[in-house]
Structure 1
Amino acid sequence: MPVPEIGTPAPDFTLQGVLLDGSGAERGAYSLSAQRGAPVVLAFYPGDDSAVCTKQLCSYTSDLDRFRDLGATVWGVNFSDLDSHEHFARKRDLRFPLLADTERTVAKAYGVTMPGLGLKRSVFIVDAEGLVRWKHVARIGLTFQDTDTITAQLAALGRR
């Protein structure tokens, strides 16, 4: 499937995810449509505990207050299962949900799979109405979109 265009409805989905909660981890279902009314940052990342992914998700965790100040939620998505996500979250103290797209249906719907290679490092901002308002899909995922870039795009949503 092609990558959704800016201004079009974001493909809806429900995935199981894990979120660190105090000393424990809470597992549950996360539905994009249930987030209507507030923006969501979807961060598709290739692998739990890999070097670039660790830097990316740790930086987002460090800056969660900046996302929250703009009313946004951050979700990480990849093909790993919940056990892998929980291990990664605990090891790195990640404080936002990591969603398990084990069947690759969501990544395919967003056009971010690479046949035989896995997942393109990608970030989508979905606005409060469920529309794609910004996206970055990397050809080679050796770098990532930083918090400054993403929060600038989130702030621009409020000026539309």
Structure 2
Amino acid sequence: MRDDYDKFKTQNAEILAIAPHSLERTRKYWTSHSLLFPCLADQERTVFKLYDVRSRLLSLGQRPGLYIIDTDGALRFAHVGSQQWHIPSNERVLARLDEMARPADNK
């Protein structure tokens, strides 16, 4: 998402990442990778549990989740991967945002 951050901003999307690590570890990672969007350090995995994105027996670490929530607070897209690398492409997410931005009669 970092590489296409400007495209997400053009779509009026706000990105919020959630990391299953301590605040210090998350801050170091964010700083070293020059990430522009905010990140919540969720070492206790509170938010992961709320969205039912829990690690499973065969998953190698924290499973990824990606959600699009519209300005009314409605969930418009959800993806939960079975492994860390199972995430939708930026192109797929941007296409979904584009669909959401079109008037209902043009969809």
Q: Compute the displacement of 1:115 (Å).
A: 4.9
Q: 2:3 and 2:82 mapped to 1: Cα distance?
A: 26
How many residue pairs match? The answer is 101
2:16 alignment partner, SS class: strand
The alignment's TM-score, normalised by the length of structure 1, stands at 0.58
Q: 1:79 and 1:142 mapped to 2: Cα distance?
A: 15
Q: 1:71 and 1:61 mapped to 2: Cα distance?
A: 15
Q: What runs of 5+ residues in structure 1 fail to find an aligned partner?
A: 1-59
Correspondence for 1:144: 87
Correspondence for 2:22: 81
Q: 2:73 and 2:49 mapped to 1: Cα distance?
A: 18
Q: 1:158 and 1:140 mapped to 2: Cα distance?
A: 30
Q: 1:155 and 1:101 mapped to 2: Cα distance?
A: 30
Q: 2:85 and 2:94 mapped to 1: Cα distance?
A: 21
Q: What runs of 5+ residues in structure 2 fail to find an aligned partner?
A: none
Correspondence for 2:31: 90
Structure 1 residue ranges (4+ consecutive) displaced by more than 4 angstroms after TM superposition: 115-118
Q: 1:110 and 1:155 mapped to 2: Cα distance?
A: 24
The alignment's TM-score, normalised by the length of structure 2, stands at 0.84
Correspondence for 1:54: none
**1:5-40 deviations in whole A, cap 9, x for unaligned?**
xxxxxxxxxxxxxxxxxxxxxxxxxxxxxxxxxxxx
**1:33-92 deviations in whole A, cap 9, x for unaligned?**
xxxxxxxxxxxxxxxxxxxxxxxxxxx112111101111111110221221111101211
User: Identity of aligned pairs, percent?
Assistant: 28
Correspondence for 1:32: none
1:130 aligns with 2:73: yes
Correspondence for 2:9: 68
